[in-house]
Amino acid sequence: MKLFSPWALWFLSFMPLVVLMYILKQKFEEQQIGSIYLWQQVLKDIEVNTPWQKLKKNLLLLLQLLCILLLVFALSDPYIFTGGGMYSNLVIVIDNTGSMNAKYEGSTRLAKAKQLAGEMINRSGANANISLLTVERSPRVEIGKTTDKGEAESRLRAIKPGNSSGNINDSVSLVRAMVKQYEESSSYKAVFYTDSPVDTEDLNAEVVSLASELTNVSLDYISYSIDNEKLTALVRATNRSDEPFDREISFYGGDRILGIKDVRLPARETVTVYFKEMPADVPYIWAELTEKDDLEEDNQVYSVVKPAKLRKVLLMSEGNVFMEKALSNINGLELYKTNPGEDLDEGYDLYIFDSALPSILPKSGSILLLNPPEGNGIIEVGEEVEGGIADILMHSITKYMDNANFTVSKLKSMKAPFWSDVLIGVNGNSAVLSGEYNGRKTAVIGFDLHNSDFALTAEYPIFVYNLTAYLAGMDTGGRTSYICGDPIDLIPDPEVREALVTDPEGVVHKLKLTYPMQLFDKTAQYGVYRLTQSTEESERVSSFAVNFPVESESVNIREFTSEDQKTSEAGSVLGGIRLQEWLICFLLLFAAVEWVVYIRGY
């Protein structure tokens, strides 16, 4: 047993004073009376107060001494150890990855971990420093080095289930850094609550294993193809248990159910199921296992149906590595090249003419002129003039280029027509223009890229992307499938004024349209997310899917590396019983008894 406030024992010195009060006699004058028969009780009281006589049995005295003892020991805050010893620093690590959502003893592994960790916090010493960490996609310190048990328990209760993958061992280095300040190895204890093995070498640590055998079938993958306006979907299901199961898989298009199939799943095997001749005019597809099992999070899988129309771009040039490189890195774009003087085919979404033009311009598609020659029929061009430092003007196409700094050695003299906006100026001259000419989107770069260091700047690929997206009308949605916890690089269209992401629970997240764009990391929920991009004239909505990480989190049981980690229990780690609350309760009880004894005159 340990006393956290041993100074309170000094109050035991009051006990002799109480005894002294009982043995001191109050002095009276002698008087003669006719009879002592009626004074027997008075005589007893007088005998009790006779000084220095032997103490007689007195219930009131015993109760008062007992109350003093209880009060003093309550102030000293005694603690009885029940196992493992007591540590002045306690580090608790909670595994919060997707597999911790699996069922465990009527609840979930995470709920059990929080329960056991709460019991440990309650059993810790009054002045123990408590640190709480969670491990989802990466380790996170929820609270560090607090002696406030109430705050620690509040942070523990606030831990929400996670759906991402993660490695509990990523937290070990962080724990090592936190306990490095403690000189004695016995002055701290680290406790890991997880369903995975933990390498605790060189740490004074215990691992509480929450691994258990599961009955689990997962939907691992969904894909589709469209042919003749009909959709064929492939769904892959895996039985992760040691016995076969019959399962029903429901297939949906948006909110509509399109098909149901029964499938036989042998033990530890994967089965592929096809849904054919489905409607293709659906925004997204998803499949679901009708019957619930021990891990419900992997019973659904999602995919967005995206019209796979690639934008075709034709580059007419004798050789422009800077432009070719930038265009080839843009997703959703097919780049074709031709030499000046060759015949052009129709049907491209964007034509780029570098220092030359065909004899006849194509009838459709947008146009980008690089270093345009005189007499091009689109914009009036003069002789080359001396260049200078570029001046980036505010425009949707030049968004995220605030820090651009480059020099143009020489450029064509151009007069900006009424239909165009100036994007970049050099020494008072218009260097880059864009607008709508004769019903088609048109842009002009009035200098040869080889005569500037623009292509060497970090802003160059951003500019080419924004300009190409504007001219070709590209869908900038990018990828359509991610894993829970993945940070997503969402690049809004250049002319967008506001971008909002709505998650599967209906929560709206507003993107900050600043350069560099921050990754969108609010992907904890699986399902379909909606990206809404608003311009001054219109609003465009696209979607992307986020799925549960079945490959890493749907495993049935993880083998531990040591028998100790398999058998660890919360009660064997450390802790004990704090007696202060019990002592106070008994103190109040005996004080009440003492009052009754005093009133009744026992």
Give the predicted TM-score (pTM) of the model. Answer: 0.62
Radius of gyration of the chain (CA): 40
Residue 205, beta-bridge partner list:
190
Out of 52-56, 263-267, 419-423, 441-445, least confident range: 52-56
- The span from the CA of 451 to the CA of 418, in Å, is 27
Q: Same domain, yes or no, for 448 and 393? A: yes
- Going by C-alpha positions, the residue among 371, 405, 375, 378 that lies closest to residue 390 is 405
Asked whether residue 221 falls in the same domain as residue 282, the answer is yes
Rounded Cα distance, 586 and 595, in Å: 14
pLDDT for 564 equals 43
Which range among 239-253, 384-398, 530-544 has the greatest average pLDDT?
Answer: 239-253
Strand, coil or helix: 221: strand
467 shares a domain with 330 = yes
pLDDT at 109: 95
Is residue 593 predicted with pLDDT exceeding 60? yes
CA separation for the pair 72, 63 (Å, rounded): 14
Shared-domain flag, residues 273 and 385: no
Find out whether 177 and 171 touch, Cβ atoms under 8 Å.
no
Kindly state the DSSP code that residue 429 receives in the 8-state scheme: E
Contact at 8 Å (CB) between 49 and 24?
yes
pLDDT tier at 588 (50, 70, 90 boundaries)? confident
Is 262 part of a structural domain of the chain? yes
315 and 463: one domain? yes
More confident residue, 595 or 447: 447
Averaging pLDDT over each range in 180-194, 289-303, 342-356, 456-470, which range is the top one?
Answer: 289-303
263 by Cβ neighbours in 10 Å (0-12 / 13-18 / 19+) ranks as middle
Give the residue, 7 or 264, on which the prediction is more confident: 264
Using an 8 Å Cβ cutoff, are 121 and 87 in contact? no
Average pLDDT over residues 425-437: 91
Residue with tokens 């005295």: 61
What pLDDT does 249 receive?
Answer: 97
pLDDT score at 439: 80
Q: From the CB of residue 69, how many other CB atoms can be counted at a distance below 10 Å?
A: 17
**What pLDDT score was predicted for residue 43?**
58
Whether the per-residue pLDDT at 294 is higher than 60: the answer is yes
CB 326 within 8 A of CB 462: no
Do 299 and 292 touch, CB atoms closer than 8 A? yes
Q: Quick check: is 494 in a domain?
A: yes
Average pLDDT, the chain: 83
Residue that terminates a domain, selected from 422, 447, 472: 472
Q: How is 443-475 classified by DSSP, letter by letter?
A: EEE-S-GGGBSGGGSTTHHHHHHHHHHHHHT--
Give just the sign of the alpha carbon dihedral 142, 146, 150, 153: positive
Instruction: Check pLDDT > 90 for residue 69.
Output: no
pLDDT of residue 550: 93
Same domain, 527 and 463: no
The answer to whether the beta carbons of residues 408 and 390 sit under 8 Å apart is yes
User: Which amino acid would we find at residue 238?
Assistant: T
Residue that is last in its domain, among 418, 451, 472 = 472
Q: Tell whether the torsion through CA atoms of 47, 50, 56 and 62 is positive or negative.
A: positive
Q: Helix crossing, 149-157 with 109-123: angle to 10°? A: 180
Check pLDDT > 50 for residue 560. Answer: no
CATH number at residue 255: 2.60.40.3230
In a domain, 259, yes or no: yes
Split into its structural domains, the chain has a count of 4
188 assigned to some structural domain: no
Asked if residue 543 belongs to a domain, the reply is yes
Residue 161, SS3?
A: coil
Share of the chain above pLDDT 70, in %: 83
Q: Are residues 466 and 519 in the same domain?
A: no
Residue 6: which pLDDT band, with cuts at 50, 70 and 90? low
Any idea what the CATH number is for the domain that residue 524 is in? 2.60.40.10
The pLDDT of 285-306, averaged and rounded, is 94
3-state secondary structure of 231: strand
> Residue 142 domain-assigned?
no
Q: What value does the mean pLDDT take over residues 193-208?
A: 90
- CA distances to 28, 34, 47, 58, 61 from 43, rounded to whole Å, are 12, 15, 6, 16, 19
* Of 277, 263, 266, nearest in space to 235 by CA: 263
287 near 259, Cβ under 8 Å? no
Residue 248 CA to residue 264 CA, distance in Å, equals 9
Higher pLDDT, 369 or 493: 369
> pLDDT value at position 565?
45
Identify any residues that bridge with 391 across adjacent strands, giving them in sequence order.
Answer: 425
Cα(122)–Cα(574) distance, rounded to whole angstroms? Answer: 11
Residues 332 and 462 grouped into a single domain: yes
The per-residue pLDDT for 443 is: 93
Residue 54 has pLDDT above 60, yes or no: no
Same-domain status, 463 and 498:
no
455 occurs within a structural domain: yes
**C-alpha span between 426 and 159 (Å, rounded):** 56
Same domain, 413 and 436: yes
- Contact by Cβ (8 Å): 485, 524: yes
Domain boundary among 424, 451, 472: 472
Q: Which of 106, 130, 105, 107 is nearest to 117 (CA)?
A: 130
Distance, CA of 91 to CA of 145 (rounded, Å): 8
Is 447:382 a contact under the CB 8 Å cutoff? no
Structure tokens at 416: 């900006």
Strands of 2-3's sheet in order across: 2-3, 78-81, 576-578
pLDDT grade for 568, boundaries at 50, 70 and 90: very low
**Which uninterrupted H or E stretch holds 589?**
helix 580-600
> Is residue 412 assigned to a domain?
yes
339 CB-side CA count, 13 A: 2
Which range marks the domain in which residue 505 is found?
481-549
Confidence of residue 566 (pLDDT cuts 50, 70, 90): very low
Pair (531, 404) in one structural domain: no
**Mean pLDDT to the nearest integer, 74-95:** 72
- Regarding whether 349 and 453 lie in a shared domain, the answer is yes
Name residue 188's beta-bridge partners. 89
Torsions phi, psi of 373, nearest 5? -80, 165
Query: What's the confidence (pLDDT) of residue 424?
Result: 93
